[in-house]
Amino acid sequence: MSPHLSASAESATAPLLVACLCAQWCGTCKDYQPLFTALQAEFPGARMQWVDVEDEADLVDPIEVENFPTLLIAQGERATFFGTVTPHLETLRRLIQSSAADGAPTVRDAEVQALVQRLGVR
């Protein structure tokens, strides 16, 4: 962290990653993908990333994604949300807003944090 920035100031300038972990065969995921992609216009500074857990198993492992859609939201190198969500546009919008806000909690799972690192270098 820069000595001149507080933790909240630095997180506010860090890039936002919103990754949807899904599977090609999942009907819910197919229906959800256009909504997910449409939100890019509302969050132009965010990197919206669609990750097929089977095609990119080497990237996702050792995390087991059992329910779809599963979202990972990170501010810089810090995961602020990881979990299964209902496939609704407004739910995703609110999650992105709250996860990018100052004071958003950090996901404490080391494997999730490692996934953020792997996705960040793509």
Asked whether residue 4 carries a pLDDT value surpassing 50, the answer given is no
For 37-72, what is each residue's pLDDT tens digit? 999 999 998 999 999 999 999 999 999 898 999 999
- Give the CA dihedral 92, 93, 96, 101, nearest 10 degrees: -140
Q: Specify the higher pLDDT residue, 1 or 67.
A: 67
SS3 48: strand
For 15-31, what is each residue's pLDDT tens digit? 899 999 999 999 999 99
pLDDT band with cut points at 50, 70 and 90 for residue 3: very low
The tokens for 8 are 């909240």
3-state SS, one letter per residue, for 72-88 = EEEECCEEEEEEECCCC
Backbone phi, psi, residue 28, to 5°: -60, -40
Domains and CATH numbers, the chain: 7-120 (3.40.30.10)
Alpha helices in 39-109 (DSSP H): 57-60, 89-100
pTM (2 d.p.): 0.85
